[in-house]
Structure formats: C-alpha cells, structure tokens
C-alpha cells in the first residue's frame, strides 16, 4: 500500500524559507509525478507545483519565483522549498501523487497534510 507522509517545521518566521519533505513508501518515486498543494484557512485548495518523472518541474505562477520542488531518489522523498514567506503562506500543505489515465491527469494519493504557520 503506497503512503505519503509530509514532514517539516510547523512554525516558520516571516521572510525565512519554508522547507517540507514528503516520504513515499510502498512504491518507487521515480515511476510517478509528484505534487504539492496547500489549503489556507477558509480558502480552497491551491496547486503549488509538480515534479515529473522526467525530472522537469512546473510551478504555479503565483508562487513561481519563490518555489522549488525536487526529488531525492535515494531516500524515496521529494521536497518543497518556499522562500521569503509571509503570513499569507500559512496553510495546510499536502503532498500528492499525480497519475494519468490516457490524457487525463488527477491526484490519486495524498498525504494527510501538515500545518505550517508563518509567524514571528
């Protein structure tokens, strides 16, 4: 059974870098594409970005200049870095797996999410 688990600090100071990891168990990380999403209080889900099994990455333009997603194959993990955070980055952060059925993509497995609060 494939499982995803987010980890990282729950509190980050404004202007610092938010760093999260997602550990994948039960399957090889190199076989799929991987995503980060977040959900701010009272708001809908927001796609942050994806890293594909080709090694390329795609980011939400609203965050693009501040976001990096990378894979550590040896650890079967992928990570998220968001620089220069503000209180607007306070959210529950989810990692997820992306799959396709023909031309249609969707997120079939999600981690349970980790709350990150940006506060001094």
Partner 1 sequence: DIQIAQFPSSLSASVGDRVTITCRASQNIGSYLNWYQQKPGRAPKVLIFAASTLESGVPSRFAGSGSGTDFTLTISSLQPEDFATYHCQQSYRAPYTFGLGTDLMIK
In the complex, the residues that contact partner 1 under the rule CB under 8 A are 43-47, 50, 58, 60-62, 94, 96, 101-102, 104-108, 110-113
- When the beta carbons of 85 and 95 are compared against partner 1, the nearer one is 95
The token pair at 97 is 């797996």
The least CB distance from residue 76 to partner 1, in Å, is: 19
- When the beta carbons of 16 and 110 are compared against partner 1, the nearer one is 110
The least CB distance from residue 68 to partner 1, in Å, is: 16
Residue 9 neighbours by CB under 8 Å, 6+ apart: 18, 19, 116
- When the beta carbons of 15 and 58 are compared against partner 1, the nearer one is 58
β-bridge pairing 45-51 and 33-39: antiparallel
For the CA atoms of the chain, what is the radius of gyration? Answer: 14
CA distances from 104 to 42, 100, 111 (A): 29, 5, 21
The least CB distance from residue 103 to partner 1, in Å, is: 8
- When the beta carbons of 75 and 112 are compared against partner 1, the nearer one is 112
Tally Cβ neighbours within 10 Å of residue 77. Answer: 19
The least CB distance from residue 23 to partner 1, in Å, is: 14
């Amino acid at each position: 059974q494939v499982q995803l688990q987010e980890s990282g600090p729950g509190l980050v100071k404004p202007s610092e870098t938010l760093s999260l990891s997602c550990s994948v168990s039960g399957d090889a990380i190199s076989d799929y594409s991987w995503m980060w999403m977040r959900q701010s209080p009272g708001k809908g889900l927001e796609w942050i970005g994806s890293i594909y099994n080709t090694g390329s990455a795609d980011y939400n333009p609203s965050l693009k200049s501040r976001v990096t997603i990378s894979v550590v194959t040896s650890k079967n993990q992928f990570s998220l870095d968001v620089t220069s955070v503000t209180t607007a980055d306070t959210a529950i952060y989810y990692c997820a797996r992306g799959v396709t059925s023909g031309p249609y993509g969707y997120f079939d497995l999600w981690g349970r999410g980790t709350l990150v609060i940006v506060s001094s």
